[in-house]
Amino acid sequence: MTDSGERLGGRRKFRLDYNLIVLIILVGFIAIVTIMQITTITPGKFPTMIAPANLTNLFAQVSATGIMAMGMAMVMIGGGIDLSVGMLTSFVVLHLAKSFIDPLYGERLPLVAAILLSILFAVLMETGMGWIISRFKVEPFIITLGGMICFRGIALRIVNSQEISMTINGVQSLGEGGQMDLKMSVVPKNLVDVAGLTVNLPIYVFVFIGITALIWVIMKYTKYGRRIYAVGANSHAAYLAGINVKNIVLSTYTINGLLVGVASVFLLSRVNTAIITTGQNKEIDVIAAAVIGGVALSGGKGNIWGVFVGAILMGAIENGLTIMRQKAEMQFVAKGLIIIGAVVVGAIIESMVSRSQTKQKQREEEGISEVAAEISDAE
């Protein structure tokens, strides 16, 4: 949904860029919170919202959700949807913690083995749902809803509805000083910004950016990415064009499972405690990030960098309202309104583009008719 301009009658006609609008909303929201901080909450002090420490923390907060949003974008562009990512996240973190801390399989697994096995289970579960959806042509909404309920039950059964800490002998296993430091910052320790806050930029922020760039390249420049768009736009036409629709749909769910598994590990390293609520309602944020980023629920449309900005916007809403000392209920209201607004803006832009294309076609047809009439008169 990115349209920068086109030649019409020798002139360049400006057309709205949906991703630019989302970016403006993000910058505008940060500006509003900053102004309110300066004028009301902390007058005379450096606003926390734009403090380097808070901005880096914002990226750290949205990294897991953003990685999942990349997988969700591929699924939705291909014409599907996945409601199970939240409970699948809970399953992954609970299975990882249980198999590493407690002898889930008779003995404790090494940390790397527990991580890889948990990610593998996520891939297999998503692949299973993708196989059912692609082979039997059933509604992905229903299948993934069933998967969400099923994953929740399995996760609760594994840990008997208890929470598990990843701390051993007072040290976080996935944190500083642990067996695997996924929270390691790429900036010097004890670096303090102008607001007096410690700046921390974990490595998984760069993993998030790297995965975003990779998915963007795949979707924009590879034959596989173009086929996903084609399947989402019109699966029957894609089939007639020789595309293996079933395998394309299946592959999007498999990739989604892989990204959910990876994101869940990073999320566990951040919260350090595995509990069933870790992934609760996560599917809302993930789908919202994709929709705000311009991915069409009907499939066939979407821009990966738009999803990247959408994920950051969702995190900025939560972060900004927390700074403003607003209750959690207001975060849901704000997120809901922005989702509705994003869909409405997208529909308006699509309507404007459609009318512009129709007028252009009419002008071209009129031009052809005039040329034909001139040739006829000359003869």
Q: Is residue 71 part of a domain?
A: yes
Q: Which residue's entry shows tokens 């036409």?
A: 237
Please report whether residue 248 resides in a domain: yes
In a domain, 374, yes or no: no
- Give 10-residue mean pLDDT values along the chain (379 residues): 39 56 87 85 71 90 96 97 96 94 86 95 97 95 96 90 83 78 78 78 94 97 97 96 97 98 94 91 92 90 93 92 82 82 77 81 75 67
How many angstroms separate the CA atoms of 38 and 344, rounded? 32
Classify residue 169: in a domain, yes or no: no
Pull the structure tokens for residue 160: 């008997």
End-to-end CA distance of the chain: 46
Number of domains in the chain: 1
Q: Which pLDDT does position 41 carry in this prediction?
A: 63
Q: Is residue 180 part of a domain?
A: yes
Q: How far is CA 365 from the centre of its chain?
A: 42
28 is written with which tokens?
A: 């505008």
Domain that holds residue 278: 63-163+174-349
- Whole-number Å distance between alpha carbons of 291 and 293: 5
What number of H helices and E strands is found in the chain? 12, 6
In a domain, 122, yes or no: yes
284 is a domain residue: yes
**Contact partners, residue 183, CB within 8 Å, separation at least 6:** 172, 174, 175, 176, 202, 204, 269, 270
Query: Across the strands, what pairs with 7?
Result: 12
pLDDT at 149: 96
**95 in a domain, yes or no?**
yes
